Amino acid sequence: MKKLIAVIMIGLMVFVLGGCANNKKDESAKAGQMQNLTVGLMPDVDSIPFIIAQEKGFFKEEGLTVTLKPFKSAVDRDSALQSGNLDGAISDMLAEAFAKAGGFDTVITSLTTGSYKLVINKDETATSIQQLKGKDVAISKNTIIEYVTDKVMAEGGLSGTDVNKIAIPQIPARLEMLQNSKIAAATLPEPMATVAVKNGGKVLNSSDKLGIYPGVMVFTSKAVTGKEKEIQAMYRAYSKAIDYLAKEPMENYIDIVIDKGGFPPSVKGALVLPNYQKPVAPKPKDVEDVMAWLQTRNLIQKGYSYQDVVDDRFVR
């Protein structure tokens, strides 16, 4: 009888262990079905949900491996995207139009929640946009930064040609020039705008106040076609990160985003995050406004339609 019980017990153990092994194999197989995604980030608040999704294991929970690559300028990011080193990137509608015009096939998959602010330096006496007429304003030329700058100028009663635009592509360098009072003003993304304000700068206007949302997530058409389930998994993890950011005190993650996002340590205690939204497609009017701005400046030959540049399958 004892021998029989022992045989039964051994059999049960083999069955249970075999089941666990099979479960692990199934999980491995599931994970193995997912291809890696490589995503380009910029040093702005748009990147924070991706950093959180990586560091808190939300990508891993979806069975996905995501490589996040930081860039300091839009030019470097776009070069990496066009050379095939990235599947997707935090970008903007202007960059998407330029990619299309250059024969490079990318699509917008969702909006991102960014913020861009026109900040004057600590020594600047201007208190309004009109008082910046004829003064130096640092931008990144032919990018979302210049687009927002022109919109801010128009709101203040000036044209983009009424100020002396100084092209400084790298965001940290632009911030440094502003803080050293070598330029009157600069348009900066968050959190760099927060750093400028903390060091005495003043915000004259911002994309938030104007209701401008040209920041987007883009992917290559190759990735959209060949890595559809991976991008879907990425967006699920991204949404988990937004839920985390909505309820978690900033002190519990600020050190992580400073380290991984390449943000100056001085943002600690001063950074105010935007109200992150779950992924949605851009509005047609926002796309139309960007195309009109680009055509007016003869930066593209044709205005691309909403259907030309947006693929909303991941956020329906």
User: Residue 89, Cα to own-chain centre: how many angstroms?
Assistant: 7
If phi > 0 it is left, if psi is from -120 to 50 it is alpha, else beta; for residue 134 that is left
- Over residues 59-109, the pLDDT tens digits come to 999 999 999 999 988 889 999 999 999 999 999 999 999 999 999 999 999
User: How do the domains of the chain map onto residue ranges?
Assistant: 33-113+213-309, 116-210
Q: What is the pTM of this model?
A: 0.82
What single-letter amino acid sits at 172?
P
User: Residue 208, Cα to own-chain centre: how many angstroms?
Assistant: 15
Please give the Cα distance from 166 to 252 (Å, whole number): 38
31 or 236, higher pLDDT: 236
Would the CATH topology of 33-113+213-309 be identical to that of 116-210? Answer: yes
Residues sharing a CB contact under 8 Å with residue 223, sequence separation 6 or more, in sequence order: 37, 87, 88, 230, 231
73 contacts 170 by C-beta, under 8 angstroms: yes
At residue 11, does pLDDT exceed 70?
Answer: no
- Over residues 216-225, the pLDDT tens digits come to 999 999 999 9
The pLDDT of residue 17:
46
- Over residues 177-193, the pLDDT tens digits come to 999 999 999 999 988 99
- Over residues 243-252, the pLDDT tens digits come to 999 999 999 9
Report the topology of domain 33-113+213-309. Answer: D-Maltodextrin-Binding Protein; domain 2 (3.40.190)
The pLDDT confidence band at residue 40, using thresholds 50, 70 and 90, is: very high
- Over residues 251-281, the pLDDT tens digits come to 999 999 999 988 888 888 888 888 898 999 9
Strand partners for 39: 68, 88
109 contacts 224 by C-beta, under 8 angstroms: yes
Superfamily for 116-210? Periplasmic binding protein-like II (3.40.190.10)
